[in-house]
Structure 1
Amino acid sequence: MSNVEKLKLAAEKLGVFLTSFQLDQFELYYRELIEWNQRVNLTSITDYTGVQLKHFLDSLTVAAAIKNIKKNLKMADIGTGAGLPGIPLKIVFSDIHLALIEATLKKTRFLDQLISKLNLKNVEIIRERAETVAHDTRYRERFDIVVSRAVAALPALAEIMLPFCNIGGCCIAQKKGDIGREVEQSKKAIEVMGGSLREIKSIDLVELNDNRCLVIIDKIQPTPSPYPRRPGIPDKRPVIS
């Protein structure tokens, strides 16, 4: 079985059925990622199988938390780095409007090139810290789904992600390992930011056998205007009590 077939079959376990065209897009994504990684630090995982499964398949696990993809759904990816999980999700759900938030110039240049090569439409790259962008009225509480992949501890993530999410929308944070204590510590921040913890959804795939899960938070009230605090503060002084 080829590695691209492994990605296809594993994605089917998530309810994601990749077309030949989409698989070709993932192939192109891999080539661009590896080429750019020679001069920009995008990933420590560079082998073909590792990228297909630990980056692309891992990104697609978010689909397990998304019940209905409506046309023109707005999604924000916080601290996207090399475009993960946002671009794999855009490849699968082509109708979504995607905002990729990334503060590092070299990474945003890669993203711009990648989006062009993949011919993706309705994708916006925002080069700024998420804590700053969240106070911009063009983006504050404008998104149906907000995703993030291992960029901070949950108390900080709640403060950074929830301000982007509209009421009735949700935030999906990708995590792995034993996160029980982290979830407990995040409850105050989730409440303060107008959220409600819906579910910790385990990802049971033999291809990703490392205790991965999705933390799903519903947005039920507006986020108070002081939040998020200035860049770095949510990490240094999380709202935990």
Structure 2
Amino acid sequence: MGHNLILVARRRDVLEQLAEELEQNHSVKVDVMACDLANPEERATLISELQGVEVNIIINSAGIASFGPFIDQDWSYEDKQFELNARAVFELTHAVLPGMIKRGTGAICNVGSAAGNVPIPNNATYVLTKAGVNAFTEALHYELRDTGVACTLLAPGPVREAVVDDAEKSIVDKVVPDFLWTTYESCSQETLAALAANSRRVVPGPLSKAMNAISAIAPTAVLSPLMGWFYKKLGS
């Protein structure tokens, strides 16, 4: 037996198909709440619906990114990116945390990024959101130490299926070498182990581990332009 689940994303049809598979394969109850987490009104409705639910574990994983000079980006997309990557994490964490503290148990996993460790040109909005999620989650980790509530930052690099068909490869797939990717399964296993141990931060995958280590020792004046050059390729 596993945990009962609530799946949240935009497309109800996709969620319902996944819910059916999970219920059949794992003997759990799976509820579906279709919601565009980048939409403040839809988020408010979701949060209202969650008030009557005992949430024991929350994983805030939704996110999008943009590449290229900030001034050249579509503003509506950048605003949506901020709402989804940062504001949704902020609001959903706040919505479930009081119940967890009252019960003296629970777990929060917020998905930040190794990219949030460094000011990366040509990835400015994403870095803004992920740096915020990184710091916010690690701050909560220490605030919640004596409450029984675990709080772990997941700061991965690129994650995908073990094998991706050439026709389905994104620009990121084509630019980042295969050996630097981590798989969904590997990332999930490391994350759940870290959450169970109430680790402050978990960094799955070779690229994220390298970025985490390098960002701690390399001068920003050297590292940022170098990474900005790489990220510019993703936006071209």
Pick the TM interval, shorter chain: 0.3 to 0.5
User: Which protein shows a greater Rg?
Assistant: 2
Tell me which protein shows more helix as a share of its residues. Answer: 2
In the superposition, the TM-score normalised over structure 1's length comes to 0.36
Tell me which protein shows more strand as a share of its residues. Answer: 1
